[in-house]
């Protein structure tokens, strides 16, 4: 049995630990922005957040599930709850292989020209890094839900 709730201050360490464990972006992990799934013992088993950016955009981020709890719809449930409670547009960064997953929720990939200026700048920097230094770096997308 898993329940969903807004994160509490005491969840901050568990959120950070889960994000590091699944190896996704560990920056901007303010527990106040998170929705968590907790098991019967109160352990955080899945997370997601709406991360506000300085330019006013909102990002769906930190979607993570403990390995033993994957393929049970927890990430989808978190995304659905966060999307329904958040004004659009809503953006996200993801690896290209995740594009079909996020498309199920109505997100679409953006060209650099369609991105907010700060997002486009960041994507250009990551693309340069991938071409010059980190050739094995995964291809990242910016997606948007209108």
The enclosing domain of 60 has a CATH number of: 3.40.630.30
Q: Which residue stretches of the chain have pLDDT < 70?
A: none
Output the pTM of the full model: 0.93
Q: Are residues 40 and 96 in the same domain?
A: no
Domain stops at, among 47, 72, 87: 87
Q: Are residues 96 and 138 in the same domain?
A: yes
Q: Are residues 83 and 12 in the same domain?
A: yes
Q: Are residues 59 and 130 in the same domain?
A: no
pLDDT at 144: 98
pLDDT at 12: 98
Q: Are residues 141 and 81 in the same domain?
A: no
Number of domains in the chain: 2
Q: Residue 7 is part of which domain span? A: 1-87
pLDDT at 133: 81
Q: Are residues 72 and 97 in the same domain?
A: no
pLDDT at 126: 85
Quick one: residue 67, left, alpha or beta (phi over 0 = left, psi -120 to 50 = alpha)? Answer: alpha
């Amino acid at each position: 049995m898993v329940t969903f709730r807004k994160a509490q201050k005491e969840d901050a360490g568990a959120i950070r630990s889960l994000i590091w464990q699944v190896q996704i972006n560990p920056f901007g992990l303010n527990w106040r922005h998170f929705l968590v799934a907790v098991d019967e013992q109160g352990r955080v088993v899945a997370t997601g957040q709406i991360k506000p950016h300085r330019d006013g955009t909102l990002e769906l981020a930190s979607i993570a599930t403990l390995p033993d709890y994957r393929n049970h719809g927890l990430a989808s449930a978190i995304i659905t709850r966060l999307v329904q409670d958040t004004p659009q547009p809503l953006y996200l960064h993801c690896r290209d292989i995740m594009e079909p997953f996020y498309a199920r929720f109505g997100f679409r990939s953006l060209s650099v020209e369609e991105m907010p200026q700060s997002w486009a700048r960041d994507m250009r920097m990551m693309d340069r890094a991938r071409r010059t230094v980190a050739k094995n770096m995964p291809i990242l997308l910016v997606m948007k839900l209108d």
